[in-house]
Amino acid sequence: MKIVMVGTGYVGLVSGVCFSDFGHEVICVDKDPGKIARLHAGEVPIYEPGLEALLAKNVAAGRLSFTTDLAEAVDGAGAVFIAVGTPTRRGDGHADLSYVMAAAEEIGKALTGYAVVVTKSTVPVGTNRKVAEVLRAVSPEAAFDVASNPEFLREGAAIDDFMRPDRVVVGVESERAQKVMAEVYRPLFLREFPVVYTGLESAEMIKYAANAFLATKITFINEIAALCERVGADIKSVAKGIGMDGRIGNKFLHAGPGYGGSCFPKDTKALARIGQEHAVPMQIVETVIKVNDEVKRRMILRIEDLCDGVLRDKVIAVLGVTFKPNTDDMRDAPSLTIVPALVGAGARVRLCDPQGQHEGQALLPGVKWSDNPYQAAQGADLVVLLTEWNEFRALDLQRMARKMAQPKMADLRNIYDRDEVLSAGFSHYVGVGR
């Protein structure tokens, strides 16, 4: 099948490359000629393990191409995916659908034959019906169906998630559209991965409900961690004990500095807004948003305590600035709250991240970047572990302690054992919920 992917951001590019690996002819479209030129040159504009090699393989096989010409790409396509951004709209917390609607209008003008227009962007309930209205308004005679196909890709593991999904969710309203979508995902169906067919509204809600639930789980364990610190319990033991319950599960029970990234912050805010608009307040989700912000601020106080209450002129090495490992994504990362607070209080901050410097240089002014964690720790009064990259999981702690002016560690991801750190020469160690 010929598939068009409108938008070459994280979701669009990963999905387009993976669809081409299924054997489909995929054309990825973007308005940014610079980005398309980079893709033509084989340069991937985002960091995602394995993506560059998979892109090169399918370009070489003639199944994957890139263009700025949407009309030419859409001609003859069986499925046209909308994979543009839906950032939080300023002022009201709602998802900004302007990019989605603009894409729909352009697609409608370009339709020449029957196609299924598929929304892969995360959109509020009811959006797909609005997409259909836009398509019909600009192209009254066109033959099309709309479908909702939300993505569930984890940054850093997106290719594996696409190729071996827990489930594929498809919202459709006609048998013809369902057959097209079944053909799109035929390789997964043949390998017996579950495909859930449902209505448009249900598919849209599944995405928001899933992300809100996971964000709630993270926030819950962070609140329990705060209580553990007061009562003398260890959050790692608590998380292990409750995670062994099959009804709860052990994933997303890792205490830390709060969630961030491209999905959870904006999707929880959007769901809360949807609830307000329909007079069904999402009270749990609204509390999750509030508590997550408080968790980040609590980490700042923890760092301040380790500096004896005075941050001014303290040299602080922060290891990891991306919101999670194996990505260069800085969106709503805890570092964007914590690092500016340290700089604002007069600390001299050094940062080290395997992939975060390119994005972080513009977002985190007033800091120095280091090539490795030992360079960052040279003469430091405190080292803060903020993102659990593999490079930071096996540090030479003795070497690091020797380089520091005051060997203290704030392990905000609970990577290390307290006794291990202290025996390596550190004078102080603080984790989360321990």
pLDDT in tens, 71-109: 999 999 999 999 999 988 877 778 899 999 999 999 999
Domains of the chain: 2-198 (3.40.50.720), 208-290 (1.10.1040.10), 297-430 (3.40.50.720)
pLDDT number for residue 92: 75
Name the catalytic one among 18, 28, 228, 263. Answer: 263
Can you tell me the distance from the alpha carbon of 272 to that of 94, in angstroms, rounded to the nearest whole number? Answer: 9
Question: Active-site residue 263, yes or no?
Answer: yes
Q: What is the reported pTM?
A: 0.92
pLDDT tens per residue across span 187-200: 998 899 999 999 99
Low-confidence ranges of the chain (pLDDT < 50): none
